[in-house]
Amino acid sequence: MIEYFQEVGSAASAICQGLWLTLKYLFKPAITVQYPTEKLVPYERFRGALLFDADTCIACNLCVKACPSSCILLENATIPDPKNAEVKKKVAKIDWYSIDFGKCNFCRLCEEACPTKPKSVWHSLDYELLFAKRDEMVRGWKKGFEFIGRYFDRREKEWKAPEGQMQIQTVQARR
């Protein structure tokens, strides 16, 4: 009989401890993020989507050489040589730049190799990238394109802005 009352007392004590814990957290502020309408801002060192600024790039090819997965391609801008009109001379600007997110392993070596200040290629704080088709995984930049880039639609033979892309911050932080 004594064991029965000990068991009942032990169970009542456990229930009171659980209710006390629940009551303690009842009056603390909520930390839940209502996801599609609210977004968490990641830490500063987060490696999100790669962004590119064509205006600051000097076409040095250091990011292409540093990339272990060979997902970055670029082409220098050219001007006609004043001495020979048939020969094109490379200048320190880009004609186009592309990153294949299907190959990218987000190692950040391209960002570290970039000599420009501010960086012309950098990881953003965006953790949501969506791709509806393979063409959208290869983002390209030319002068005048926005930071998120555009993709080349092979069927329609034109550059298109990615649809449904939501940015966490309107002005992307550069390191």
Q: Give me the CATH number covering residue 59.
A: 3.30.70.3270
Under-50 pLDDT residues of the chain: 168, 171
Tell me how far apart the terminal alpha carbons of the chain are, to the nearest angstrom: 72
Q: What is the pLDDT of residues 77-115, one digit of tens each?
A: 888 877 777 778 888 888 888 899 889 998 999 999 999
Domain assignment of residue 12, yes or no: no
Tally of domains in the chain: 1
Domain assignment of residue 71, yes or no: yes
Domain assignment of residue 8, yes or no: no
Cα-based distances in Å from 85 to 50, 80, 81, 92, 93 = 37, 6, 6, 19, 20
Element holding 160 (H helix, E strand): strand 158-160
Look at residue 171 in the predicted model and tell me its pLDDT: 46
Separation CA 25–CA 19 (nearest Å):
10
Q: 59 is in which domain, residue-wise? A: 50-160
Domain assignment of residue 34, yes or no: no
CA dihedral 117, 118, 120, 125 (to 10 degrees): 150
Task: Please say whether the dihedral angle defined by the alpha carbons of residues 161, 164, 134 and 35, taken in this order, is positive or negative.
Answer: positive
Look at residue 170 in the predicted model and tell me its pLDDT: 52
Look at residue 173 in the predicted model and tell me its pLDDT: 57
Chain centroid to CA 43: 13
